[in-house]
């Protein structure tokens, strides 16, 4: 592709495509999400030397976090967060400054008055870890993040059941087992959120 000298003060430059035989689709996605790509393209499609279709394309493609770092799509991000909060707060009670960090299907192992798994939705917020059931509406279990001493992964201790990984949360009352659709992700994000709170010196409960 050659730039049009009539539109640029500098000399004509030629851009040649590069080819990396070792590159894979994940490599491309890493570049798009991390650094992003800006397209500035003028294209004319001709048939028998007759121009039929013109395309003038100006586009930025990048991961949302990269977009936000550069001041792009902030209004969309804020509106999306407001919409998500309104949708969630119709079901799960949240404090005014409490934000949803993660949501996934899961459950809570009840041990009293009898041992039983109670299915629900696991919510990680900026303040709490909550297991919520929508019908009937109730909080099955919750803990302030400030009270979580540790979080670990452990195989299910039911010898007769299928192999599953549980998220074990250490709180002042003892250890609590949670089921999660993606236990590794829940474990990792809970730990990251707790570390972020500790780093910010947030002691609110």
Q: Evaluate if pTM is beyond 0.85.
A: no
What does each C-alpha distance from 154 to 50, 121, 157, 167, 185 come to in angstroms? 68, 20, 8, 6, 14
Sheet order of strands, 128-134 included? 137-144, 128-134, 116-125, 100-110, 174-180, 165-171, 150-155
User: How far, in Å, CA of 50 to CA of 204, rounded?
Assistant: 69
Per the domain annotation, does 104 fall within a domain? yes
Percentage of the chain with pLDDT > 90?
Answer: 31
pLDDT band at 40 (very low <50, low <70, confident <90, very high): confident
Are 101 and 85 within 8 A, CB to CB? no
Residues 97 and 185 in one domain: yes
Residues 108 and 186 in one domain: yes
Is residue 46 in some structural domain? yes
Residue 4: domain span: 1-72
The CATH number of the domain holding residue 131 is 2.30.29.30
What pLDDT, on the 0 to 100 scale, is given for residue 174?
Answer: 92
Residues 6 and 97 in one domain: no
Same domain, 104 and 47: no
CA distances from 130 to 36, 103, 125, 126 (A): 35, 10, 8, 11
Q: Among residues 72, 105, 126, which one ends one of the domains? A: 72
Among 182, 140, 142, which Cα is nearest to 165's?
A: 182
Q: Which of 15, 41, 72 is the last residue of a domain?
A: 72
Say whether both 183 and 99 belong to one domain: yes
Q: What is residue 55's predicted lDDT score, i.e. its pLDDT?
A: 86
**Where does a domain end: 15, 39, 72?**
72
Q: Is the dihedral of CA 127, 132, 138, 142 positive or negative?
A: negative
Look at residue 86 and tell me if it is in a domain. Answer: no
| Distance from C-alpha of 33 to C-alpha of 23, rounded to nearest angstrom | 16
Model pLDDT, residue 201: 67
Residues 6+ apart with CB under 8 A from 175: 168, 169
């979080």: which residue's tokens? 151
Q: Per-residue pLDDT tens for 126-157?
A: 899 999 988 888 899 999 999 999 999 999 87
Q: Give yes or no for residue 95 having a pLDDT over 90.
A: no
Q: How far apart are CA 153 and CA 137, in angstroms?
A: 28
Q: Do 108 and 38 lie in a common domain?
A: no
Contact criterion met (CB below 8 Å) for 146 and 203: yes
Instruction: Output the CA torsion 94→125→127→93 (10° steps).
Output: 10
Q: Quick check: is 80 in a domain?
A: no
Indicate the number of domains in the chain: 2
């Amino acid at each position: 592709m050659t730039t049009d000298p009539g539109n640029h003060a500098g000399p004509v430059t030629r851009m040649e495509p590069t080819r990396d035989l070792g590159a894979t689709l994940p490599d491309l996605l890493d570049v798009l999400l991390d650094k992003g790509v800006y397209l500035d393209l003028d294209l004319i499609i001709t048939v028998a030397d007759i121009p039929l279709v013109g395309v003038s394309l100006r586009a930025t493609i990048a991961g949302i976090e990269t977009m936000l770092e550069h001041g792009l799509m902030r209004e969309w991000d804020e509106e999306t967060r407001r919409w998500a909060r309104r949708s969630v707060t119709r079901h799960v009670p949240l404090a005014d400054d409490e934000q949803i960090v993660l949501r996934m299907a899961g459950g809570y192992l009840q041990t009293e008055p009898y041992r039983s798994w109670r299915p629900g939705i696991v919510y990680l917020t900026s303040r709490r870890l909550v297991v919520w059931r929508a019908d009937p509406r109730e909080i099955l279990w919750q803990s302030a993040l400030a009270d979580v001493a540790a979080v670990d992964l452990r195989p299910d201790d039911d010898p007769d059941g299928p192999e599953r990984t549980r998220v074990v949360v250490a709180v002042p009352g003892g250890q609590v087992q949670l089921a999660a659709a993606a236990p590794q992700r829940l474990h990792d994000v809970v730990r990251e959120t707790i570390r972020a709170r500790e780093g910010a010196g947030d002691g609110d409960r």
